[in-house]
Amino acid sequence: MSDERTGASDRRKAEGPGAVKQPRGAEGAIQKVGVIGAGVMGAGIAAHCANAGVPVVLLDIVPGGAAKAVQTMLRADPAPFMHKGAARLITAGDIGTDLALLGDCDWIVEAIVEKPEPKRELYAKLEAVRKAGSIISSNTSTIPLGDLVAGASAGFAADFLITHFFNPPRYMRLLEVVQGPATRADAVASITEFCDRRLGKTVIPCKDRPGFIANRIGGMWMQSAINNAFTMGLSVEEADALMSRPIGVPKTGVFGLLDLVGIDLMPHVAASMKATLPADDAYVQGLREHALITRLIKEGRTGRKGGKGGFYTRKRDAAGVQQKLAIDLASGEDRPEKKARLESLELRDLAKLAEHPDRGGRYMRAVLLDLLSYAASLVPEIADSVADVDAAMRLGYNWKWGPFELIDKVGAAWLAAALRADGRAVPKLLEQVGTGSFYRVQDGVLQFFGTDGAFHDVPRAPGVLLLADVKRRSKPLAKNAGASIWDIGDGVACLEFHSKMNALDPDILGMIGKALGMGKKGTFRALVIHNEAENFSVGANLGLALFAANIAAWGEIEGMIEQGQKAMLGLRNAPFPVVGAPSGMALGGGCEVLLHCTAVQAHAESYIGLVEVGVGLIPGWGGCATMLRRWTDNPKAPKGPMPAVAKAFEMISTAQVAKSAFEAQEMLLLRPTDGITMNRDRLLADAKARALAMVETHNVPEAPKPMRLPGASGHAALNMAVQQQVLMGRATPHDVVVCDQLGIALTGGKKDHTDEITDEEVMKLERQSFMALLKTPGTLARVEHMLETGRPLRN
Amino acid sequence: MASYTAPLRDMRFVMNEFLDPARLRALPGCEEMTPDLVDPILEEAGKLCSEVLFPLNRSGDEEGCHIENGVVRTPKGFPEAYRMYCDGGWSALAADPEYGGQGLPRSVAMVFEEMMCSANLAFGMYPGLTHGAVAAISKHGTPEQKATYLPKMVSGEWTGTMCLTEPQCGTDLGLIRTRAVPADDGAYRITGNKIFISAGEHDLASNIIHLVLAKLPDAPKGTRGISLFLVPKFLPKADGSPGSRNGVLCTALEHKMGIKASATCAMAFDDAVGWMVGEPHRGLAAMFTMMNEARLGVGIQGLGLAEVSYQNAVAYAKDRLQGRGIDGTKHPDKPADPIIVHPDVRRMLLTMRAQTEGCRALAMWTALEQDIAHRHPDPETRQAADDFVQLITPVVKAYLTDAGWDGTATGMQVLGGHGYIRDWGMEQYVRDARIAQIYEGTNGIQALDLVGRKMGAHAGRYLRRFFHPVLAYIEAKSEDPAMAEEFILPLSKAFGRLQSATAEVARRGMGDPFEAGAVATDYLRLFGLTALAYCWARMAEVALDKQATDDTGFYKAKLTTARFFMQRILPQSSALSSGIMAGGKTLKEFEEAAF
């Protein structure tokens, strides 16, 4: 098996990840990147450029620091690298000795200590080594651009801008870009193009104001949420419950977020904002020192990273039982965590919540007034449009709605009236919008309210195609509760899943059948399977399957597996090209959909895997057959029936999930010919282009040649390997049962290597093994546990 | 003359032949539960019921309870009978030995319960309510509360009540108004009015322990703001004997259709001293832990009344001479044939018999699972048994009490005009049976519990405990020539209908809960019929095996009754299934104003 692994890396060495994965049309001006400063941000930026297949020079002030940072990143979780091979694209060096390595870099990112002096000194040295026309940017989050280029040459200032990444750089989609008066337009265009297409970022232009967009508004939100929690006597649980789901913020809320990013970061942010903002700015006015927070920092209780806890603390008591504690904001004492229970919290309507008389309602009103009026007062000071502000908050803070979308939720008129009632100023932009809203849909196009008082289309970068936009302007070709089919132009249709968590159910299978029928009739020329939910699909609807199993409706369940297999074969044998375009998780049945597509165009952040064993099952929709087929047909695999079986068994029996599209390619879950798109917003357009490119040459694939599988002796060998795992304590009793059934399906059951076996016959074995497992109490317990806790049961 | 004889033969059949007695004896504390030990207990119980309790049934109904200045007098003979009941140790039969109980399993105690319900349901209410209160205090009380109250309640010296209902709230307990204010002494002061309180006040015991649902001053709205309090009629002195009178008074007795000898009281709590049982705001949950037990107990009431009505209907039908057999004279020596020769009378009697015996089997199966859920050493086995009890409890409560109402009405019908007049006692059974469909959660609420709570719990895990064993049985017996055609085929048809209905109700209910609610009652009935069909198939299997040793004709009768059930009762499952599949559209569409 180790041979295989070498084979995989050989392929990468020979071709280089960029050769396969580089998006078409991305041959921009930037071919090589330099990053100075190998701290969390600098190293992360370097890793992500390497992810894009671009050679990177990474330098650090500490000798050997950059090389060490690369090693650290290889072990980090979440991983900064999309695949291990990317690390080889990074050349590590020291600022002191290796500055010359930057000589052929087209873009140099500075991410050193947040002080203007050292930065300016560094820039002066760069002047000596950088090539003419290379672009320099700083990843500063606090220092005005004017300060950074003070005293620099005109040429340097023309090549200089600020590129503010968010942490972690691989995963956060926001990039704030600030240009100075001297910055040349084509430098901004090159960086925007590169970061958009190659790094997959959404580039938001910002004004040169402290904190730019996201941290300025996010800072106000945190400040108000903390101050008001103290003054209004809320518990941290209550504050976090209110500052999360009701306003579309991640469930950490505000105190949980502080624990996550580090409580000690607070005073630094406050100090730098105070130093750069005018004294009458609402943020500066609202600055408070809370004795409790000062004490926590002093005691080193800075949140999750310190291990000593923060607002929330996990501790083992004397009996070794884990305790969940939360801090009492009034007394400063830790006490057992308790779920927030407020009448206001039960309200779904945000305006009603903010008007509820209990402390939850009063708190929500206070924070919303601070946050939303501040945001409204900052356009156009910090950004040209409300759409840019909202996008920055969504992508930089993972909010579901930006502040202006929130204003539309509560009503601009409500907000203005509430501000007036409290004797507060109503921002000009809010006055302007009056009783209207900041967004509207006009002729199927989303528009925002501009500072000129008119509505403008929300801009999309050239070449971006969003399903959301298609849906706004058209009606589906077909639709049921689980899926819809949309016309995305040029004779291409998009099959969209939209069930809960995009779990595959009979509705979705039915819609796949419908799409196949429509395609055969010529309603469209090619089909893309894509959706814009967080996850492509988490697999089959386990709740339905478990319920059916609990009432012993075995016939119905087997029927659903057959229906699924038929749908998958239908995709594989479609007379038109079918392109799968996943983003996020594509697990179990979701993975099997991709395995049967003519081609896949995957977002780089796709997490693909056959994870059925986690719930005590095996892939039943051709996942076993296809993985056997892919390893059998892999020209680099050793000959004979066993290696392919062993590879498939190893992957499926351990429920391995690829942590990126690149890893999925290494695991053969994607083919070498499948494409990868870095920018999620460009995925649908890329998939559509791929589908169109195949239309002319597409033929119904020939039935694959039968395989030879090792049969009973192979099955016995696999079971022996599982027994080894049991002895080492790595496999549980029910793992043995599941692996036994997986072994039957992968080794061909009663056939042996002298017999030929078709993919369809393997699928029949999948079905039988699946049904056998579903009847075991161990599997039923696993499925139930997964449904109720979201975690696998190790029984 | 009306009479009652405990159906000991059939009870033993269910305990020892239909159920596997080894399952009970495998449980800790139940090793001794052999027929040698259990049979004499049941025989004695039968005697108490037919000789002491049954003779007071009619007189108690006619006399009823009386109230004067807050003092309630039970009918003549009740206090003496209650003393005999306690002195004989019957009160303590299934109670925890730690508090003076005899520790018999639930599945044995339930047989006795059925006899009491047949003999004198109104009398049985008094100890029945006590058992519920004992269960709540055992599970949620403090050590002091247990030590002070349980021994006396177990022995029957003191009785208990459950005070839930108020004038403005019955099913929706979130609307409770009774307040509990903390006092300096760690106790609470309870103030409010309760109605429909069974055994709220009477002259059978020296003290009455009320368990009262009330709200604390800071309670959240709705059912999450209710706490449970223990309020004794007399505050116990330091030595444990009843002391000063507490501020709780019976203000009136309800005038009811049936169970007239049971004192159904309106109670006024006026600054009464009470102690919290369990945690603040968790009172309803504490009450619900014993709800399953109470609901099964009400199901048994339906069974008991149907049984006694059946016995008297049979006696009358064999005795009453009217007309001649439609297919020829059967008793030429008599002036007319007894009416039992007539096919429709036989239909009525066999319907009663098939339902009663089927219900007994289902109830005792449930009781055994309860014992397993309480006592089995393996947690997974306990869990599986508890799942089953959770699932089947609403079915047992509603199906058995419906059978009680149908059965007693049919029994009355067999007697014709003599059933309708008071002399034969048949109309009392009808009146007594009616309440069981109403209290402890109406049968409509049971149906909602089944489709709304039990069906979806843990993605249908409770359902597994019924569907898997039944399907396994069908598969195991479908090739058995003696069973396949007559018993397994109709069972598997009903089972298939129940499967489809379950999938459909769950699917539609997820989209629109009204749809599930609209067919819930029919679904529960379909479930009950299928459960009985399974019980009947298994009973038929036993009877087939024992035909060779059938000296008394018991097994032959069993087989014929089983066939009657399969052929003449079970087909209702087809009609129910059609109705369920048709759904709730018409119920939803009908304009409110047009009603």
pLDDT digits (tens, 9 = 90+) for A677-699: 999 999 999 999 999 999 999 99
Residue A21 has pLDDT above 50, yes or no: no
Residue A32 has pLDDT above 90, yes or no: yes
Partner-chain residue, chosen from B220, B458, B499, that has the shortest CB–CB distance to A551: B499
pLDDT digits (tens, 9 = 90+) for A547-577: 999 999 999 999 999 999 999 999 999 999 9
Does A553 lie at the interface with B, CB-CB under 8 angstroms? Answer: yes
Q: Does the beta-carbon distance from B467 to A548 stay under 8 Å?
A: no
Q: Does the beta-carbon distance from B458 to A552 stay under 8 Å?
A: no
The number of C-alpha atoms within 13 Å of A539 and in the hemisphere containing its C-beta is: 26
Residues in chain A within 8 Å Cβ distance of B460? 546-547, 550-551
* B475: number of Cβ within 10 Å: 12
Query: Average of pLDDT values for A632-654?
Result: 91
Reported CATH class of domain B158-288: mainly beta
Residue A22 has pLDDT above 80, yes or no: no
Does A358 lie at the interface with B, CB-CB under 8 angstroms? Answer: no
Backbone angles phi and psi of A465, in degrees to 5: -125, 115
Residue B222 has pLDDT above 70, yes or no: yes
Is residue A145 domain-resident? yes
Partner-chain residue, chosen from A341, A547, A556, that has the shortest CB–CB distance to B506: A547
Is residue A386 domain-resident? yes
- Same domain, residue pair A185 and A262: no
Lowest mean pLDDT among A302-311, A607-616, B358-367: A302-311
* Cα–Cα dist B250/B196, whole Å: 11
Residue A107 pairs with which residues in a beta bridge? Answer: A33, A135
Q: Which residue has the tokens 């600098």?
A: A42
Decide: A564 and A596 in contact? Cβ < 8 Å. Answer: no
* DSSP codes, B218-243: TPPSGGGGBEEEEEESEEE-TTSSEE
Cis omega (within 30 of 0) for bond into A250: no
Partner-chain residue, chosen from A552, A784, A788, that has the shortest CB–CB distance to B467: A552
Q: What is the pLDDT of residue A266?
A: 86
Partner-chain residue, chosen from B221, B459, B499, that has the shortest CB–CB distance to A553: B499
Q: How confident is the model at residue A27 (pLDDT cuts 50, 70, 90)?
A: very low
Which one is catalytic: B307, B440, B504, B515?
A: B440
pLDDT digits (tens, 9 = 90+) for A128-150: 999 999 999 999 988 999 999 99
Nearest to A623 by CA among A723, A769, A508: A769
One fold for B8-140 and B158-288: no
Q: What is the pLDDT of residue B170?
A: 86
Residue A26 has pLDDT above 60, yes or no: no
- Same domain, residue pair A267 and A412: yes
Q: What is the pLDDT of residue A155?
A: 94
pTM greater than 0.80: yes
Does A771 lie at the interface with B, CB-CB under 8 angstroms? Answer: no
Decide: A310 and A334 in contact? Cβ < 8 Å. Answer: no
Q: Read off the CATH number of the domain in which A54 is found.
A: 3.40.50.720
Residues in chain A within 8 Å Cβ distance of B502? 551
Query: Residue A730 corresponds to which amino acid?
Result: R
**Every domain of chain B and the residues it spans:** 8-140, 158-288, 454-588
B479 is catalytic: no
Query: Following CA atoms B13, B15, B17, B23 in sequence, which dihedral angle do they give, to the nearest 10 degrees?
Result: 180
SS3 B169: strand
Residues in chain B within 8 Å Cβ distance of A551? 460, 463-464, 467, 499, 502-503
- Same domain, residue pair A123 and A191: yes
* A111: number of Cβ within 10 Å: 27
Does B378 lie at the interface with A, CB-CB under 8 angstroms? Answer: no
Q: How confident is the model at residue A11 (pLDDT cuts 50, 70, 90)?
A: very low
Give me the interface pTM, i.e. the ipTM: 0.91
Residues in chain A within 8 Å Cβ distance of B387? none
- Same domain, residue pair A354 and A424: yes
Does B223 lie at the interface with A, CB-CB under 8 angstroms? Answer: no
Residue A246 has pLDDT above 70, yes or no: yes
Backbone angles phi and psi of A561, in degrees to 5: -65, -45
Q: Which domain holds residue A780?
A: 711-789
Looking at the structure of chain A, the number of domains it has is 4
Residues in chain B within 8 Å Cβ distance of A548? 503
Q: Does the beta-carbon distance from B463 to A543 stay under 8 Å?
A: no
Q: Does the beta-carbon distance from A551 to B220 stay under 8 Å?
A: no
Residue B429 has pLDDT above 80, yes or no: yes
Query: Average of pLDDT values for A25-43?
Result: 85
Does B544 lie at the interface with A, CB-CB under 8 angstroms? Answer: no
- Cα first-last separation, chain A: 29
* A515: number of Cβ within 10 Å: 28
- Same domain, residue pair A8 and A126: yes
Is residue A456 domain-resident? no
Q: How confident is the model at residue B377 (pLDDT cuts 50, 70, 90)?
A: very high
- Same domain, residue pair A150 and A281: no
SS3 B71: strand
pLDDT digits (tens, 9 = 90+) for B297-311: 999 999 999 999 999
Query: Average of pLDDT values for B426-431?
Result: 98
pLDDT digits (tens, 9 = 90+) for A74-97: 999 999 999 999 999 999 999 999
pLDDT digits (tens, 9 = 90+) for A724-750: 999 999 999 999 999 999 999 999 988
pLDDT digits (tens, 9 = 90+) for B150-170: 999 999 999 999 999 999 998
* Cα–Cα dist B419/B412, whole Å: 4
- Same domain, residue pair A191 and A254: no
Nearest to A787 by CA among A561, A501, A482: A501
Does B221 lie at the interface with A, CB-CB under 8 angstroms? Answer: yes
Domain boundary among A637, A666, A695: A695
**Whole-number percent of chain B with pLDDT over 90:** 94
Backbone angles phi and psi of A778, in degrees to 5: -60, -45
* Cα–Cα dist A276/A12, whole Å: 48
Is residue A492 domain-resident? yes
* Cα–Cα dist B501/A70, whole Å: 60
Does A552 lie at the interface with B, CB-CB under 8 angstroms? Answer: yes
pLDDT digits (tens, 9 = 90+) for A382-433: 999 999 999 999 999 999 999 999 999 999 999 999 999 999 999 999 999 9
- Same domain, residue pair A233 and A131: no
Q: What is the pLDDT of residue A28?
A: 57
Q: Would you say how long chain B is, in residues?
A: 595
Does A431 lie at the interface with B, CB-CB under 8 angstroms? Answer: no
Q: Is the dihedral of CA B402, B405, B408, B413 positive or negative?
A: negative
Partner-chain residue, chosen from B220, B460, B468, that has the shortest CB–CB distance to A547: B460
Residues in chain B within 8 Å Cβ distance of A346? none
The Cα of A548 is separated from the nearest Cα of chain B by a number of Å equal to 7
Q: Read off the CATH number of the domain in which A248 is found.
A: 1.10.1040.50
Residues in chain B within 8 Å Cβ distance of A543? 459
- Same domain, residue pair A572 and A493: yes
* Cα–Cα dist A249/A387, whole Å: 18
Q: Which residue has the tokens 């409500």?
A: A414
- Same domain, residue pair A90 and A198: yes
Residues in chain A within 8 Å Cβ distance of B492? none
Q: Which of residues 467 through 496 in chain B touch A, CB cutoff 8 A?
A: 467-468, 471
Is residue A639 domain-resident? no
- Architecture of the domain spanning B8-140: Orthogonal Bundle (1.10)
- Same domain, residue pair A101 and A174: yes
Domain boundary among A206, A235, A254: A206
Q: Residue B95 is inside which H or E element, if any?
A: none
Nearest to A24 by CA among A491, A697, A682: A682
- Same domain, residue pair A349 and A284: yes
Q: Which of residues 525 through 544 in chain A touch B, CB cutoff 8 A?
A: 542-543
Beta-sheet strands, E only, within A107-242: 107-110, 135-138, 160-165, 174-179, 202-206
SS3 A678: coil
Max intra-chain CA distance, chain A = 87
Partner-chain residue, chosen from B220, B459, B468, that has the shortest CB–CB distance to A547: B459
Q: Which of residues 24 through 83 in chain A touch B, CB cutoff 8 A?
A: none
